[in-house]
């Protein structure tokens, strides 16, 4: 179970970093490990830099390809700062990921160019049909940078390949199409994912307070730089999520109507009449 | 001098990795260290994974910004494979870099959308004027993913920030605007760049041959996946460069007319009449 072994693996990387300055752990035969950014935050709490990545079920086409073969292969970096919240950058190496497309579908908005390629190599934005065709292998997600090389889609493809190799090759694991969560007959099967976890002890390089101040200064100067007209704020990675968390702790989590209905259907299906949601 | 200390720093990281399984070195007060991918290849030759990154002079605007504050901040990863050439992914974290824009300018082609933002927040493609305005701070490069968040420009911006922090904060160095290569009076000054170097000894995890085979299998399966119509080949990172190198070793390096003239002017300026170029 990804979330259990993920925590254990990052703890091990942190222990090794405490002793040797840095530590790295690779995991085999795992499942989806949840929010990638969770693990770097464990390192940040110990005054360390945390890095993790994971391969995932094939949904992304390489540059010049149309076949879903790479995963959205997330990578995440966490760094301590002198602010109330750390730097936390956690991203899929595809332009978008499935959940974002499903969100656009539920709210009836077509997706932008550069997210999805069709089986004939065409750019696609028709979100409802895309949602069906992604499952059938008739459409694939595009790497960060979009289609072809002009927008540097080959860079997103490169990052995805780095994550694929680091997740699989250090532990002799399976990769790419072998990570599909369904077998040839369409039956669900375990996906046998691989992950990697790195912890770097800042004290092995410099005073932790010095690192935190430099990191904080970088983030503050980025936020203070000149805004594009129509934008009154520049964010740094992890800032929106921190602000959203503060807000949600106060006011709760908004759910759109379709998701509310989905939850109520699940409630009925499993006979959970003892639970009540605020939107009921 | 970046290329001298860069080599020394990667050697040190490799030495540490030989002893402890992995090693990392941060460098302060350096200059441009040349081709980032050179350093990971040093680790690859020792059966290790090599990673490096560097901050650089401010030319890139953050998401929702227009000011050149981040560098193109390259990051590079090298991994051994069982093929004739290793996996080598070496990229600027901006969509494009200055050299690519100069190449489009010399060959009189406008650049695509998503490379450059103007001071009023507009997307710009007028390459000749852009080349002038980039120097004046009236235009800035965009992070990988392009303008705003819809194409995931915030991801390129996040990668650039990771490289900025790792390059500066571990060694108490300068960063962002302080890396400008000109002072307030427009005079040239040293840029005091920072770099980081990581080596990971594969033998600390698994047999090197096992890693090489898995990495090679991943690359071969990517290349063998279904092509988009109009494309007969899918490349993996480092493959095009390897093939180009083989070709150039045989036939030489093609130079466009403008670059030939530039070289001949330099030759005249410095009185190097003893040298003869094939294009003279």
A133-161 pLDDT, tens per residue?
998 999 999 999 999 999 999 999 999 99
Assigned domain for A244 exists: no
Rg (CA), chain A: 20
Give the chain A residue nearest B91 (alpha carbons): A155
Asked whether residue B52 is assigned to any structural domain, the reply reads yes
Mean pLDDT across B86-97: 97
Say whether A151 and B112 touch across the interface (CB within 8 A): yes
- Going by pLDDT thresholds of 50, 70 and 90, the confidence category of residue B222 is very high
Q: How high is the pLDDT of residue B186?
A: 80
Q: What is the ipTM of this complex?
A: 0.94
Tokens of A257: 């109507």
Q: And the tokens for B193?
A: 């760049």
pLDDT mean across residues, chain B: 95
Lowest mean pLDDT among A204-208, B182-186, B234-238: B182-186
Measured between CA atoms, the residue of chain B closest to residue A219 is B161
> For residue A154, which residues of chain B lie inside 8 Å, CB to CB?
235, 237
φ, ψ of residue B31 to 5 degrees: the values are -125, 180
Among A residues 128-167, those touching chain B with beta carbons less than 8 Å apart: 144-146, 150-152, 154-159, 161-162, 164-166
Percent of residues in chain B assigned helix, strand, coil, to nearest 5 = 40, 20, 40
On whether residue B203 sits in a domain, the answer given is yes
Q: Decide which of B187 and B20 is more confident.
A: B20
**Per-residue confidence (pLDDT) for residue B19, from 0 to 100:** 97
Beta bridge partners of B70: B60
In-domain check, residue A273: no
Assigned domain for B115 exists: no
What is the pTM (predicted TM-score) of this model? 0.94
Report yes or no: A93 and A213 within 8 Å, Cβ to Cβ: no
Give percent of chain A above pLDDT 70.
Answer: 100
* Chains A–B, number of C-beta pairs less than 8 Å apart: 223
Of A64, A69, A206, the CB nearest to B171: A206
pLDDT computed for residue A75 by the predictor: 98
Q: What is the pLDDT of residue B279?
A: 84
Instruction: Find where tokens 């406008």 sit.
Output: B110
Q: Closest to A172 (Cβ–Cβ): which among B66, B114, B210?
A: B210
Asked whether the beta carbons of residue A236 and residue B171 sit closer than 8 angstroms, the reply is no
Residue of A nearest to B112 (CA): A150
B174-221 tens-digit pLDDT:
999 999 988 878 888 888 999 999 999 999 999 999 999 999 999 999
Cβ separation of B145 and A145 shorter than 8 Å? yes
pLDDT band at B84 (very low <50, low <70, confident <90, very high): very high
Distance from CA of B244 to the nearest CA of A (A): 17
CA-based radius of gyration for chain B = 21
Question: Chain A contact for B58, CB < 8 A?
Answer: no
Mutation for B interface: A26, A91, A222, most B CBs within 10 A: A222
Cα distance from B237 to chain A (closest Cα, Å)?
Answer: 6
- The answer to whether the CB atoms of A228 and B159 lie below 8 A apart is no
Integer Cα distance of B88 and B95 in angstroms: 18
Chain A CB contacts of B175 below 8 Å: 214, 217-218, 221
User: In this model, does residue B278 exceed pLDDT 90?
Assistant: no
Residue B107's pLDDT is what?
Answer: 87
Looking at residue B46, its pLDDT comes to 98
B230 in contact with chain A, both atoms CB, cutoff 8 A: yes
CATH code, A222: 3.30.1370.60
pLDDT at A279 over 90: no
Give, as one character, the DSSP assignment of residue B143.
Answer: B
A79 touches chain B (CB under 8 A): yes
Of A64, A162, A177, the CB nearest to B231: A64
Spatial separation of the C-alpha atoms in residues B280 and B277, rounded to whole Å: 6
Mean pLDDT of B150-174: 97
Give the pLDDT mean for B80-99. Answer: 96
Domain membership of residue A100 (yes or no) is: no
pLDDT (0 to 100) of residue A106 = 86
Of B158, B234, B237, the CB nearest to A65: B234
Selected residues 90-119 of chain A with any CB under 8 Å from a CB in chain B: 91, 95-96, 112, 114, 117
**Is there a domain that residue B273 lies in?**
no
Sequence length of chain B is 280
pLDDT of B126-147, one tens digit each?
999 999 999 899 999 999 999 9
In the predicted structure, residue B82 carries a pLDDT above the cut 90:
yes
**Rounded to an integer, what distance in angstroms lies between the CA atom of residue B84 and that of residue A279?**
61
Mean pLDDT of A256-278: 90
- The enclosing H or E element of B199 equals strand B193-201
Chain A partners of B96 at a C-beta cutoff of 8 Å?
152
pLDDT band for position B277 (50/70/90)?
A: confident
**Alpha carbon distance A231, B46 (integer Å):** 49
* Residue in B152, B168, B225 closest to A214 by CB: B168
Which residue range is the domain that position B205 belongs to? 2-92+150-235
Residue B119 covered by a domain = no
Instruction: Say if CB B198 and CB B37 are below 8 A apart.
Output: no
- Residues of A within 8 A of B61 (CB-CB) are 225, 228
- pLDDT above 90 for A191: no
In chain B, what residues touch A151 (CB-CB under 8 Å)?
Answer: 95, 112, 114, 146, 151
Of residues B277, B270, B235, B233, the one with CA closest to residue B254: B277
**CA–CA separation, B117 and B104 (whole Å):** 17
Q: How confident is the model at residue A181 (pLDDT cuts 50, 70, 90)?
A: confident
pLDDT of residue A276: 87
Rounded Cα gap, residues A177 and B222, in angstroms: 10
For residue B272, the model assigns a pLDDT of: 92
Residue with tokens 């790479």: A70
Q: Please indicate if any CB of chain B lies within 8 Å of the CB of A125.
A: no
Q: What is the pLDDT of residue A218?
A: 98
Distances (CA, A) of A231 to A88, A236, A259: 22, 14, 30
Distances (CA, A) of B203 to A27, A37, A221, B49, B206: 16, 28, 41, 10, 5
CB < 8 Å to A237, chain B: 154, 157-158, 161
Say what the pLDDT of residue B104 is.
Answer: 92
pLDDT value at position B248? 96
Question: If you average pLDDT over residues A14-42, what whole number do you get?
Answer: 97
Number of domains composing chain A: 1
pLDDT of residue A239 exceeding 90, the answer is yes
Mean pLDDT of B74-91: 98
């Amino acid at each position: 179970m990804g979330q259990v072994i993920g925590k254990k693996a990052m703890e091990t990387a942190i222990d090794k970093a405490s002793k040797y300055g840095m530590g790295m752990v690779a995991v085999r035969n795992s499942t989806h490990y949840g929010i990638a950014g969770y693990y770097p935050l464990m390192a940040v709490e110990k005054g360390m830099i945390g890095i993790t990545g994971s391969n995932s079920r094939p949904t992304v086409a390489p540059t010049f390809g149309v076949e879903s073969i790479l995963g959205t292969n997330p990578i995440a970096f966490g760094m301590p700062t002198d602010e109330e919240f750390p730097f936390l950058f956690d991203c899929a190496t595809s332009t978008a990921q499935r959940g974002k497309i499903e969100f656009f579908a539920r709210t009836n908005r077509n997706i932008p160019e550069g997210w999805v390629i069709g089986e004939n190599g065409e750019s696609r934005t028709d979100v409802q049909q895309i949602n069906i065709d992604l499952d059938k292998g008739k459409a694939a997600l595009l790497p960060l940078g979009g289609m072809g090389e002009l927008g540097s889609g080959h860079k997103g493809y490169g990052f995805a390949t780095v994550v694929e190799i680091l997740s699989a090759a250090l532990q002799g694991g399976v990769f790419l199409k072998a990570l599909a969560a369904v077998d040839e007959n369409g039956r669900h099967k375990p996906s046998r994912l691989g992950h990697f976890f790195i912890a770097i002890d800042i004290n092995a390089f410099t005073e932790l307070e010095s690192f935190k101040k430099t990191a904080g200064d970088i983030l503050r100067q980025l936020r203070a730089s000149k805004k594009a007209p129509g934008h009154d704020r520049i964010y740094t990675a992890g800032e929106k999520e921190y602000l959203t968390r503060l807000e949600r702790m106060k006011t709760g989590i908004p759910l759109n109507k379709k998701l509310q209905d989905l939850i109520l259907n699940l409630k009925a299906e499993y006979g959970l009449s003892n639970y009540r949601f605020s939107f009921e």
